[in-house]
Structure 1
C-alpha cells in the first residue's frame, strides 16, 4: 500500500504552568509531538495510510514512544535507531511556538546527529507515494540539511510527490548559514509548498511588502498571497500547489484566521474565521498541513481541499496537545454549518 511518509524530529513538549506554579505542583504535562509527527497522527486518524521517519536512541523511553506512535495507527518502520537523546522543548501553557518563551533542548539529540550517507533512504521510502517534510529539520545543522537534501533528491528521483511546510523557526538557524541559502535547494524538489508570505521571504528570498501590515486589510493580504504563490511557482517549476495561512491576534484573547490555495493558475480563498479565545496554539499549522495533504491525497476539488484544511486547523486551536483528535465527520459538519451561514 502506498503511504504518506512524514519525516522530521520527534520532540517531547514539556508544558509548564507559568510563573513557577509547576514547581509548587511538582507536575508538568508532557506531549509527544513534532511538526511532522503531528501531521502523521492526523492523517492516520483520518484513515490515510501513513508512516513516520525519525531518529531515536536505543533505550526504553524511545521504545515507549515508538509504541505510542504505532498505537496511533502509524507505520513506524521508518524510525532509525542511533544516538543518545530525544529532542525536547519547553513551552509555557497558553503561549505560541514563535513566542520568546520557548526553550529548545535539542542539541546532541539522535536526530541532530543525522549526516549525509548515514541512512538508506531507499529503505525509508519503500511503499511511499508521498513524502512530507518541514523547514524545521534543515534549520538544525548543515549535516541535517545535507541529509534532508539527500532524502528529497531520492524521493524526487523515484517520482514521489513531495510536500514541505515552510515552518520558520529563526531561533534554530544558528550554524552560520542563512535559511535562504539552504531552503531553495530543498524546495526545488517539492510539489506542494505551504507557509505564509513572511516565511517565503525569510526562507526562500521571495519579496514581501514591508508595509503590508499598515494596509492591514484581508484583500491586501490575499493579493500578496497570490503574488507570493506565483513567484514560488515561477522560481520552482516543479511546484504545483502553494498554500498560505494568515493568523492574527484579536485582543484581548481572540484570533482571526484565513487561508489561500493556489493551483492551476487560480487562487482559492477560505472564509475568515474568528474565535474569542484559544486553548492551545501548538499544532494548528500542522493540522492545516495534514488537512491539505488529506484533500490532495484524495484528489478533492481545490476549494474543498482548502475548506477542510482551514476548518481543521481552526478547530485545533481549541484542543490541548500537539496533534488533533478531530474526526473527518467533525470537520465536515462544521464546514457545512459555515456554508449555510454564508
Structure 2
C-alpha cells in the first residue's frame, strides 16, 4: 500500500467567475500530499491510504466521505474533538479561482488552527505501521512540513522510520510562501527540505532544497540543478522535475526531466496543452511518475505517464485526475489525444 502523510482541505471552486464575484461554488477535497494518494487510487487502481487529522464535525465527515469515494484508506485519520466554533481546532478550507487567458488562477487559504497543523511527533505509531508489511511506499511533502514546527518534526520522524523499515520513500519539496512567512521564509523551508531529502529515495522536485525557491528554469539550468542536488544527496535514487511554459492561464507547454542513478532522462513534451484547472497538476505528475516506478517502467516512461496524468488533470476540474488509467496510459504512449473506443 502507498501511504501519504499530509493535510486534506475542503476546496471551494468558483468555476468561471473570479472569487470576488462568485455566486456559487463547486466543492471537492484536495491537498498536495493527499492528491497523489487519490490519483494513484482513483485513476490507477492502486491501494493507498492517508495519515492526517480531522475535526469530528459535519465538515469533517463530508471530507471523509469524499476521501472514501476515491478509494483511499482512512484508517490512519486521527479525529479531534470539535470545540463548537473552531477556535481551537478546525478543518482547513480553501477557495480556488481557475483563471483564464490573462487572468491568473488564485487560491485563498483558510487553514489557521487546523487539525493537521497540530499533528506532532508521537501521534502515529510509525514502527507498528511500517513493520506490518502492508505499506511499501511512503510519501509526504513540503506543504505538510510547512504547516507548523510540529508537522516538520512529524514528517521527519515518519520518513526516517519508513527508511529504517526498508520502505521506498518520496518527498515533494513544495514551497508555499504563505506557510513560511512567519517561520523564516525560503531559507527555513530549504533547511527542512534538506533534512527530509537525506532520507528520500525519490524527490518530486528540486527546489527549494539547497538553492531556495526560484522562477522556472531553462532546460540546462534545471539539469545542472538536479545533478548538483544529486551530488549532495548520495542516498537519493531518483529526482524528477516537471517544467512548464505558460503562454496564458489557458495554454501551457508541459514536460519533465528525470535524474536517475546518474543519468538524465527526458519526457515527451506536450505543447499548447489547454488548461481548464491547473491546480493539482504537479501532484498528478508525481502520481503518474510513482505509478510508473512502482511497476518497473524506465525513468523516461514513468515521466511520460506523469506528464500525461498532469495534462489530463489540467483538462478537468478539481485537484486530481478524473480520467481512467486507460486514458492516461494511452496518452502517455502517443503524446496526442485521440478517440478511445
Tell me the TM-score normalised to structure 2 length.
Answer: 0.87
2:9 is matched with 11
1:21 is matched with 21
CA RMSD of aligned residues (A): 2.5
1:175 is matched with 182
Distance 2:248 2:282 in 1: 20
Distance 2:108 2:37 in 1: 24
Distance 2:249 2:165 in 1: 50
Residues 211-265 of structure 1 deviation map (CA, whole Å, 9 limit, x = unaligned)? x86xxxxxxx222222222222221111000001111211484211111111121
Residues 122-158 of structure 1 deviation map (CA, whole Å, 9 limit, x = unaligned)? 3444421110111101111111111111111111111
Q: Which moved more, 1:125-134 or 1:64-73?
A: 64-73
1:218 is matched with none
Distance 2:100 2:202 in 1: 29
Distance 1:205 1:21, change over 3 A: same
Distance 2:256 2:155 in 1: 28
Query: Residue 95 of structure 1 contacts residue 101 of structure 1 at CA under 8 Å; is this kept in 2?
Result: no
SS of the counterpart of 1:230?
helix
The runs of 5 or more residues in structure 1 that have no matched partner are 214-220
Query: Residue 131 of structure 1 contacts residue 163 of structure 1 at CA under 8 Å; is this kept in 2?
Result: yes
1:135 is matched with 142
2:151 is matched with 144
Q: 1:38 aligns with which of 15, 35, 60?
A: 35
Q: 2:291 aligns with which of 288, 294, 298?
A: 294
Distance 1:209 1:147 in 2: 27
Distance 2:249 2:150 in 1: 43
Distance 1:250 1:67, change over 3 A: same
Q: CA deviation at 1:100?
A: 8.4
1:154 is matched with 161
Q: How many residues align?
A: 321
Q: Which moved more, 1:161-170 or 1:224-233?
A: 224-233
Tell me the TM-score normalised to structure 1 length.
Answer: 0.86
Distance 2:277 2:117 in 1: 27
Distance 1:62 1:95 in 2: 31
Query: Residue 141 of structure 1 contacts residue 175 of structure 1 at CA under 8 Å; is this kept in 2?
Result: no
Within the alignment, does 1:206 sit opposite 2:199 as a pair?
Answer: no
The runs of 5 or more residues in structure 2 that have no matched partner are 82-88
